Structure 1
């Protein structure tokens, strides 16, 4: 999703700092975009759970592009493990990346945006930050936390010229959720509970993120947009009226 978001933002004319722990992949993406859009993308290695790394990334962005107008807190990790089998270390590791990393992004970048007259922040949560899910104790906790943190930030920063919103992807075909690269047409039959009857594409999440970061969303603050094909609204009672095939 991060790569799809970067590609879309750059194609729309933005100058983007790509930050990730995956150095080879990040440099390759920056080179790809640099060839098509010279001077619009740069990469820095960044551990988002590290406060000093956030300061270094902000300095890098200012050095390359002058200021930061938009922050997308996208990085995250996923852990499938039952509640009783999740150790304290497991739980804290997921929260450190997903929730603390998002907090540090807000804490580091928001003062810079305020000093420059405003900005937009989009936090990538999950539909598992809107509902319960078995085997996702740490992940769901972190995503619910992002949802709440977004609301607080929207309140505290809205009157200071910043908008803060969250995006909640559902089943999106990414390396994190589909590490073996199964073809999307093979994934879709597993999404019969979703009104849209299919998995989602990273580009569909990127489009929602771009909208929230744009002036077209100028009066949207503290909102949550589910990009999930309708999964979070409920699941079908199969065989009853209104379900697929009935």
Structure 2
């Protein structure tokens, strides 16, 4: 049986790689992106199993129309579309705040809800939302991005609870320091890259392929009993706070009983 996947924000970066990997896993992919020409080219590059369409995920009518063009209910939906609006909160324009929430959070809601209705009628499926470690741990000058991605984490749990009875699993992937797509500008500075790599316990930046592998796992039957979870794909970064603090060797034996 043909399985369809919908991947948003699929014109470039992580979304394009997720779409490519989904095709390799046997899906036919509807790749959606606000940049129509770019996503159509990406689909052509991936091959005939991928179809690109211009879709603004923050426009409910556009999402409905795109959903109506699908030949069948998708088995997998990946909400990857997102924008960054960084900057100190004291100076952040309200328009930038609203733009990030509209795409990152409302867009995820609109796509998931629209497609969940047809997935429920077809017997279920899997939805994977893309958040960020910025949605788990706050960072200075992350602007509206952190709040929008924290909303995605909680929205994922909310969806999972409400839609389980329809056979729909909903999970979240929170990428860490990933050298792909929107982060290219950050890693153009070799010193910034060196410092950031050094902060990751596994000693390297993540890749779009790392994220795609996690997404496809959560969309597969291998995770059939997993729902409402957020998987941080970050090389151990957000769990490593204490690892960065100095500690004298003299305390290593504290607490050991004397022989």
In structure 1, which of residues 46, 51, 54 is the aligned counterpart of residue 55 of structure 2? 46
What SS is found at the alignment partner of 1:159?
helix
1:237 aligned residue: 244
Gaps of 5+ in 1: none
State TM-score, norm by structure 1.
Answer: 0.90
The within-5 A match list for 1:105-184 is: 105-179=111-185, 182=188
Quick one: distance in 1 between partners of 2:149 and 2:238?
A: 14
CA-based RMSD of the aligned residues comes to 1.9
State TM-score, norm by structure 2.
Answer: 0.86
1:75 aligned residue: 81
What SS is found at the alignment partner of 2:181?
coil
1:105 is displaced (CA, Å) by 1.0
Note if 1:10 corresponds to 2:23. Answer: yes
Quick one: distance in 2 between partners of 1:223 and 1:97?
A: 22
| 8 Å CA contact 2:80, 2:129 repeated in 1 | yes
Residue by residue over 1:46-90, the C-alpha shift from the partner in whole angstroms, topping out at 9 and shown as x without a partner, is 11100011111111222xxx2211110001011220010112111
In structure 2, which of residues 194, 201, 207 is the aligned counterpart of residue 195 of structure 1? 201
Segments of 4+ moved more than 6 angstroms: 183-186
Residue by residue over 1:110-150, the C-alpha shift from the partner in whole angstroms, topping out at 9 and shown as x without a partner, is 11000001010000000111111111131000000000000
Q: If you compute each CA radius of gyration, which structure gives the higher value, 1 or 2?
A: 2
Note if 1:31 corresponds to 2:44. Answer: yes
What SS is found at the alignment partner of 1:81?
coil
Gaps of 5+ in 2: 1-13, 250-259
Quick one: distance in 1 between partners of 2:202 and 2:120?
A: 40
1:181 is displaced (CA, Å) by 7.0
